[in-house]
Amino acid sequence: MSDPIRVLVIDDDFRVAGLHHDIVAARPGFAALEPARTLGAARQAVRAHAPDLLLVDAYLPDGDGIEFVASAEVDAFVLSAATDAATVRRALRAGAFGYLAKPFEARALAALLDRYARMRNVLGTDRPLAQEQIDRALAIMHGGGEPASVSRSATEQLVLEGLGTDEASAAEVADRVGISRATAQRHLAALATRGLVDVRLRYGSTGRPEHRYALARPA
């Protein structure tokens, strides 16, 4: 079993920091470190605990969270009430993998964490990457072009990301995202009913047709 992804929340509001800490702690495969409320504490925590991921507020009492993201050499998301385009662009230039504007629903952060975990899984190799793998990692992280706060269940989002740009069976999608075949089949059927997924039958050597799924192309 792989080690959990260690996450450090950096936010000066103890209530907000605690909420984000609890969201992280509730996600399978993640471990939430004790939150840091200042950049000084964050620097000490990075040295002491070597987190894999930072959730950083843009503005902290003793400095600029975005500048910290640029210098920390740790994967990071910026979580901030600042919604001006200049701040968002600055966060992305600093290397943040994403940006969530406060306040946001817990499921938005949960979905972001799940996408991050899946991206790490794709990139978790010492071998040279094929362009297809790079494209898939980027597509996973950016949610297929949809924001993390879309009104869609986390499982449906995982199924869509698992489908990616390929055509696949329910079993193949299930293997990619770590759910049961029955669950993948149920969600794929629901997505097909809503026109988000196309379905076709492929006949194999046994004569028994197999349902194959692909993302629906825009009209």
Q: What is the pLDDT of residues 138-171, one digit of tens each?
A: 888 875 444 444 345 667 778 888 887 778 888 8
- pTM for the full model? 0.66
Tell me the pLDDT of the chain averaged across its residues.
85
Contact predicate 57/19, CB 8 Å: no
Higher pLDDT, 11 or 181: 11
Enumerate residues 6+ apart whose C-beta is below 8 A from 145: none
Q: What is the dihedral sign for C-alpha 120, 125, 128, 131?
A: negative
**pLDDT tens, position by position, 16-41:** 999 999 999 999 899 999 999 999 99
**pLDDT tens, position by position, 87-100:** 999 999 999 999 99
Which of 213, 215, 181 has its CA nearest to residue 200? 213
- Quick one: pLDDT at residue 147? 42
**pLDDT tens, position by position, 197-212:** 888 887 765 556 778 8
Position 15, amino acid: R
Q: Go through the domains of the chain in sequence order and give each one's CATH number.
A: 5-132+134-144 (3.40.50.2300), 152-215 (1.10.10.10)
The answer on pLDDT for 2 being more than 80 is no
